[in-house]
Amino acid sequence: MSDLKPKRFWTESAVVETGGGYTIELDGRRVKTPAKAALVLPTRAMAQEVAAEWDAQEKEVDPTSMPFTRSANASLDKVHHQHAEVADMLADYGDSDLLCYRATHPQELQHRQAAQWDPALDWAADTLSARLLPVAGVLHQPQPEASLTALRQRVHGLSDFQLAAFHDLVSLSGSLVLGFAAAENWRPAEEIWSISRLDELWQIEQWGHDDEAHALAENKKAAFLHAKRFFDISV
């Protein structure tokens, strides 16, 4: 496989209004997705973020430095064609949500989980009409069907672009509830990310800091915060 990256061939990128949204032109040439679909974005804010990434490229195009472009491409090339499957996969997190599985010991960890996770479950019950029930231990316990149905309907109601972002909010946090909490601005995204890492942070307190694990966690945090921003500019 070649490691060669495409060269920058354009002088200027521009946001252009088009049928159904906005696109990016590079010296008048419209950008397409890797699957050759038209890059039509739902909001000007998203188009501006994507255009800025193309402007920031220097001699070569580095896709790893273009998170908004990658998310937009995923929305159009992947999620658009598998919307129902992606939505079902994410909705399934509700029946095994991170927030529902509590430690059986020590007591300090139990108290910390209750203090940080119970408010999120209460918020979901009040705002999403979905009460999920915490259990002690790691053995699966089915959640109320009415709550799962309410959550599933909400996931399926997301647009392709929202769903692409929501995929990362849920998969990175391990929680459907926290994914919705981030999307709906329950609390600041950084705080929600910390809540999702409660068990990991506890382990660090007990066993100490690991540089490799910390670097991985920071990468995941950056991806989570990017997903939140992408979700916000999808509408």
Residue 53 sits in a domain of what CATH number? 3.30.2180.10
Please check whether residues 222 and 145 belong to one and the same domain: yes
| pLDDT for residue 3 | 57
Phi, psi of 157 (to 5 degrees): -80, -5
pTM: 0.95
Please check whether residues 49 and 147 belong to one and the same domain: no
Exposed, middle or buried by CB within 10 Å (0-12, 13-18, 19+), for 92? middle
Mean pLDDT across 210-235:
96
Q: How many separate domains does the chain show?
A: 2
Please check whether residues 40 and 98 belong to one and the same domain: no
Task: Locate 223 and state its tokens.
Answer: 């991806």
In a domain, 75, yes or no: no
Pair 124, 184: CB distance under 8 Å: no
Give residue 4's pLDDT band: very low, low, confident or very high (50, 70, 90): low
For residue 196, pLDDT over 50 is answered with: yes
Length of the chain: 235
CA distance 77 to 95: 28
Give residue 159's pLDDT band: very low, low, confident or very high (50, 70, 90): very high
Domain harbouring 175, CATH code: 1.10.3580.10
Residue with tokens 């994410």: 90
**Residue 92: which of 197, 184, 171 has the closest Cα?**
171
Q: Which domain does 44 fall in, by range?
A: 13-66
CA distance 83 to 160: 7
